A and B are shown apart, each in its own frame.
Chain A
Amino acid sequence: AQSVTQLDSHVSVSEGTPVLLRCNYSSSYSPSLFWYVQHPNKGLQLLLKYTSAATLVKGINGFEAEFKKSETSFHLTKPSAHMSDAAEYFCVVSGSGTYKYIFGTGTRLKVLA
């Protein structure tokens, strides 16, 4: 069975400070992991994905995430937040041989001026 837990439903940071959005997963298989972002009234956009290659994954807009098998975590980070980063972020796990995406409940990021 697979599951994903986003540890914070809301995160607030000041513009220019680092961003950390936390995600833990559970999977019986070697997982593929994704981070998506959803801006208001828009569809979900892929930020980055991990598929058993390098454990540090770089994505778009300066985001990156590190796959830590020992901690079953896939936290999303960005060194310096921008106002345009304010959005909802979803962590997703997908297991070997399955079509299924399992979504977390989302983390709403607020960026303060």
Chain B
Amino acid sequence: EADIYQTPRYLVIGTGKKITLECSQTMGHDKMYWYQQDPGMELHLIHYSYGVNSTEKGDLSSESTVSRIRTEHFPLTLESARPSHTSQYLCASSEPGTTSTDTQYFGPGTRLTVL
């Protein structure tokens, strides 16, 4: 079992609220990722980081932002939540190595519902 944690596991909030989804890993991994997963669909990368103070947007356009101030912590923030943000958000990290062969370790996910 990988040591990567996400909080909260479930969140129901109203439109317009600011929220932060937390992700922490204790493995010392430099690379971290945020994915969005909708039922019956593939995971889509929305943000990634190669290390402290390094963040990039992924393939799927997202109104969220991320920060990487500490190696172990990679929070995702929505400034003003909307119903279209309702989804499951998965955080992952990967061990050092040749990028294409990296194994990504996933957290349990945060299921977000915006009313």
Contacts and interface: CB of A to CB of B under 8 A. Distances in A.
Interface of A: 9, 29, 31-32, 34, 36, 41-46, 49, 51, 90, 94-106
Contacts of B9: 41
B112 interface: no
Contact of A94 (B4, B50, B101, B105): B101
Contacts, number: 65
A43 B4 contact: yes
A43 B103 contact: no
Interface string B77-115: 000000000000010100000011111111111000000
Contacts of B44: 103
Chain A contact surface mostly: loop
Contact of B40 (A45, A102, A106): A106
Interface of B: 2, 4, 6, 9, 31, 33, 40-45, 48, 50, 59, 90, 92, 99-109
Which one of A49, A97, A101 has the highest number of Cβ atoms from chain B below 10 Å of its Cβ? Answer: A101
B42 A49 contact: no
Which 8 interchain pairs have the tightest Cβ spacing? A43-B106, A103-B42, A44-B106, A51-B101, A103-B43, A43-B108, A94-B100, A32-B100
Contacts of A101: 33, 43, 45, 104
A34 B106 CA distance: 14
Contacts of A29: 100
Nearest to A43: B106
Given A46-B104, A51-B101, 20 more contacts: A32-B100, A34-B103, A41-B108, A43-B4, A43-B107, A44-B90, A44-B92, A51-B100, A90-B42, A94-B101, A94-B102, A95-B100, A97-B99, A98-B99, A98-B100, A99-B99, A99-B102, A100-B45, A101-B33, A105-B42
